[in-house]
Amino acid sequence: MTRTTELPFPYSIKRHSVSVMSCDDEPVQTPGCIQSHGLLLAMHPDTCIVTQVSENCARWTARAVDATLGQPLADIIGAGPAQRIRQLLDGEELVNNPTYAVTTRLPGMAPEDAPLDISVHLSGGMLIVELEPTGRETAAAAPDRDYYTRVKKTMTRLRASTSLAGFCDAIAQEVRGATGLDRAMVYRFHDDESGEIVADAHRDDLHSWLGLRYPASDIPKPAREIFKRISIRPLPDASAELCEIVPLLDPASGRPLDMTYCALRGASVMYTEYLANMGVAATLTMPILRDGVLWGLIVCHNYTPTTMPYDLRAAAEFIGQIASLEIAAAESREHAQYQLRIDTTHHAMMTRMVGTGDMAELTQGAPGLLDGIEASGVATLCRDQWLVVGRTPPEFQLQQLALWLRERLLRDGKRIVVTDALGAAYPLAAQFADMASGMLAVAVSGSLTSDLIIWFRPEQMQTFTWSGNPYDKPQMAGPNGMRLTPRRSFDIWQEEVRGRSQPWKQVEIDAALKLRQWIGDLMVGRAEQLDRLNGELSRSNDELDAFAYVAGHDLKEPLRGIYKNAYYLKQENDASGTSDTLTNERFSTLLRLTVRMDSLLDALLHFARVGRLSLDYEPVDLGVVVGEALDMLGSRLTESGVQVRLPRPLPVVQCDRVRAREIFANLISNAVKYNDKPAPLLEIGYVDAGDINPAAPWPLASSPVQKEALLFYVRDNGIGIEHRHQERVFQIFKRLHPRDAFGGGSGAGLAIARKLVEQHNGRIWFDSTPGVGTTFYFTLEGPPVVLAERRRA
């Protein structure tokens, strides 16, 4: 746990040294002091009356601090320079943007004193004026440094590089050439915020530091945050005295001066001690940003104090900004062929997926996901089903990983998780480190049930070469108690690291995000299309149900008339004494057909009515419901001699009591009707879907149900059904036998049963062996709200 010693306030690192026990606690943005080689003035921009000044002002202005505070800026630096600053205030964007104003001598400066470069910017509502020696006698006598030509040459060289290593080496060489400093390095951050020197241009008598690694604590979080904002950080003399700001707080606001963008900002005591331990006397640092993220730093060292005039810094700063603009292109050039291969593969997969809309196309067929991004295995989670290729963890471990991933994605507000040390972030990954120490995962959507694509890489043992022991964190007594100090040794220190994979390249991360975007766009398009089709289908079904209901109702009346008239005609024909057998048979056929037509219309009306009714959900004891259904069919069961068996009591579920009874009644009636055995048997029960043997012969795989669902069944030892009739038996009026076989019937019972099951958000199917028997399975999953709550649980 980070501990800090309470600091006196207002705070200055000059006066109070360092009292923190963590580098992350140091107030680097408001140090309250500057480097002593320059002068700082702070004021409100509307008045330009000096309200804060560095305590060394007499060295430059021949004025004491008291004689400087409260004075107009023009009196301190002269009317001309003050007018130039006013022009910049009126015409330039100076907020957090240090801008060169003028090079001049201040009133009272001796003729032999070097002129001062003046730069200005606005920070926290304050105008900050910084003055530094130019490093030359007069501006007019300055040597001709053609920085424009150098920067133009640098840009050409950087863009001509064909590899990232070559690009970084060019940066280091060009910055050293522009600055003349002893060493210029490119320092790259890794995902764990440790860093590595990937390019090193140095004096011939110095050792190369190329490949050395440094722990994250060497560049603490406050420093990294500042480097995201500023473009250059000069420190001409790390051992020089610091000059305090007077007063430390702005008299008007009571706030410390925000010096984030100040070139003169006083350096952290921890940092200057760190440099002293390395034998470094001066530094110049520029950040490299990639898409707003701190990719690395350009770090220059000099082993003696030096001057860093504004024009030299401007050239170095410009090279750093070019590096930030070109770093993505440099990485792309290095991996151009690899990126082309990935894009070609992903395009081919998407072309197949467009035709089906099924994410299974990403892992099935060729090319697939493993033909693009280099990985040892890949797993996709689509609609709660895993599809894997190559070496991946088992499904139960994938399921646990998916839960962790979804929480991480939602917590971070991102759509991707990338790591080459999965076990460090997700301890359970230690169980499968040999196949998945590295992970690149993207969420296809942003919901709790998001589909996922996860690439895996195996463990790859590595040896890291550190500049000193990264775990050495010495402490010492300071003016405010014990404090952290920088490590003193930078001797080569090697560490063998396990639990890591080959790191993921930026081109691979970009390709994964692009693929995610393509899939997301396709899914949204298909979802909109399905919504439209479902809407049209729903309207069509409603219209069809309405038509069936109206047609069935309206046809009943003429049918009753036909039956009545046919009956009277037959009666009259029988009474006339002249009736013949053929006429009687025709009348009997007409009566029989009208009765059958009436039965079919009754079935049609009932089927249409089922589709138009809303269900009344309540806790229902299915044991009682089955008892009621058996009572309804009592006489038929008695006549058939069927033996009914319930292996165990049925549970209580959320359903519509009347409709559930009708489902059981239809299935029981069907089982009794189609039974030709001398001792018919009927079994009614349930099983847990999660307990089902995946190798069971009945088609559970073709009937996707939740693993926590209950499967109810009605089993008989009747004539059986061929599997090819899996759909036909559930179609209304579709019979598999002659019309009058097995007692006739309308052929609507199973169609009605399926409709009632589907209204309960369930599924129904059968498993059967002809001549042996049939088992009908179905689920009752409850209303949507109850179903959603159960799945969340």
Q: At what angle do helices 657-673 and 622-632 cross, to 10 degrees?
A: 50
Asked if the model's pLDDT at residue 5 lies above 50, the reply is no
In degrees rounded to 5, what are phi and psi of residue 524? -65, -45
User: What value does the mean pLDDT of the chain take?
Assistant: 79
Q: Is the CB of residue 297 less than 8 Å from the CB of residue 285?
A: yes
Q: What's the DSSP call for residue 268?
A: P
Beta carbons within 10 angstroms of residue 764's beta carbon: 21
DSSP code per residue over 651-668: -EEEEEHHHHHHHHHHHH
- CA dist 557 and 546 (Å) reads 18
What tokens were used for 551? 């047609």
What pTM did the predictor assign? 0.57
Cis ω on the peptide bond leading into residue 486 (within 30° of 0)? Answer: no
Q: Is the CB of residue 4 less than 8 Å from the CB of residue 21?
A: yes
* Residue-wise pLDDT tens digits, 502-528: 888 888 998 888 888 888 777 665 655
pLDDT band with cut points at 50, 70 and 90 for residue 100 = very high
- CA dist 442 and 509 (Å) reads 9
Strands (E), 546-702: 617-621, 643-645, 652-656, 681-688
pLDDT at residue 732 in the model: 60
pLDDT band with cut points at 50, 70 and 90 for residue 791 = very low
- CA dist 626 and 668 (Å) reads 9
Coil, strand or helix at 711 = strand
Tell me how many degrees the CA angle 329-333-339 measures, rounded to the nearest 5: 105
What tokens were used for 714? 């009605």
Q: Is the CB of residue 643 less than 8 Å from the CB of residue 680?
A: yes
Asked if the model's pLDDT at residue 20 lies above 50, the reply is no
What tokens were used for 99? 């801008």
- CA dist 435 and 393 (Å) reads 7
CATH topology of 1-140+242-264 equal to that of 144-238+280-334?
yes
pLDDT at residue 406 in the model: 86
Specify the CATH number of the domain 144-238+280-334. Answer: 3.30.450.40
Of the ranges 78-92, 97-111, 544-558, 580-594, which is most confident?
78-92
Q: Is the CB of residue 437 less than 8 Å from the CB of residue 420?
A: yes
Coil, strand or helix at 539 = helix
- CA dist 193 and 205 (Å) reads 31
* Residue-wise pLDDT tens digits, 290-306: 888 999 999 999 999 99
Element (H, E) at 536: helix 506-575
- If one compares 346 and 95, the residue with the highest pLDDT of the two is 95
* Residue-wise pLDDT tens digits, 154-186: 878 888 887 888 899 999 999 999 899 999 999
Element (H, E) at 345: helix 336-356
Dihedral (CA of 517, 523, 526, 530) sign: negative
Give per-residue burial for 87-97: e unless 16+ CB within 10 Å, then b: ebeeeeebeee
> Among the listed ranges 315-319, 423-427, 446-450, which one has the minimum average pLDDT value?
446-450
Name the CATH topology of 337-461: Beta-Lactamase (3.30.450)
pLDDT at residue 97 in the model: 94
Amino acid identity at 219: I
Name every residue whose Cβ is closer than 8 Å to that of residue 703 and which is 6 or more positions away in sequence: 763, 765, 777
Q: Where are the alpha helices (DSSP H) in 614-656?
A: 622-632, 634-640
- CA dist 746 and 636 (Å) reads 17
Q: At what angle do helices 581-612 and 506-575 cross, to 10 degrees?
A: 150
Beta carbons within 10 angstroms of residue 709's beta carbon: 18
Yes or no: is domain 1-140+242-264 CATH 3.30.450.20?
yes
Q: Is the CB of residue 206 less than 8 Å from the CB of residue 189?
A: no
- CA dist 626 and 633 (Å) reads 11
Of the ranges 230-234, 423-427, 443-447, 771-775, which is most confident?
230-234
Q: 233 pairs with which residues across the strands?
A: 285
Asked if the model's pLDDT at residue 188 lies above 60, the reply is yes
- CA dist 42 and 29 (Å) reads 15
Q: Is the CB of residue 369 less than 8 Å from the CB of residue 389?
A: yes
Q: Is the CB of residue 265 less than 8 Å from the CB of residue 31?
A: yes
- CA dist 73 and 67 (Å) reads 12
pLDDT band with cut points at 50, 70 and 90 for residue 68 = very high
Query: Cα–chain-centroid distance for residue 324?
Result: 25
Strands (E), 270-344: 282-290, 293-302
CA-nearest of 766, 680, 754, 752 to 721 is: 766
* Residue-wise pLDDT tens digits, 250-275: 999 999 999 999 999 999 888 888 88
pLDDT at residue 488 in the model: 55
* Residue-wise pLDDT tens digits, 390-441: 999 988 899 889 989 888 888 887 888 998 888 888 888 888 888 888 899 9
pLDDT at residue 53 in the model: 97
Asked if the model's pLDDT at residue 491 lies above 60, the reply is no
The strand pair at 681-688 and 643-645 is best described as parallel
Q: Is the CB of residue 668 less than 8 Å from the CB of residue 684?
A: yes
Q: Is the CB of residue 105 less than 8 Å from the CB of residue 113?
A: yes
Asked if the model's pLDDT at residue 366 lies above 60, the reply is yes
Name the CATH topology of 613-792: Heat Shock Protein 90 (3.30.565)
* Residue-wise pLDDT tens digits, 107-152: 878 777 889 999 999 999 999 999 998 865 433 333 445 666 777 7
Domains in the chain: boundaries: 1-140+242-264, 144-238+280-334, 337-461, 530-610, 613-792
pLDDT at residue 503 in the model: 86
Element (H, E) at 670: helix 657-673
pLDDT at residue 132 in the model: 93
Burial label, 417 (beta-carbon count in 10 A; 0-12, 13-18, 19+): buried
What tokens were used for 332? 């792309």
CA-nearest of 4, 56, 13 to 256 is: 13
Asked if the model's pLDDT at residue 201 lies above 90, the reply is yes
Whole-number Cα distances in Å, 395 to 379, 387, 391: 9, 9, 12
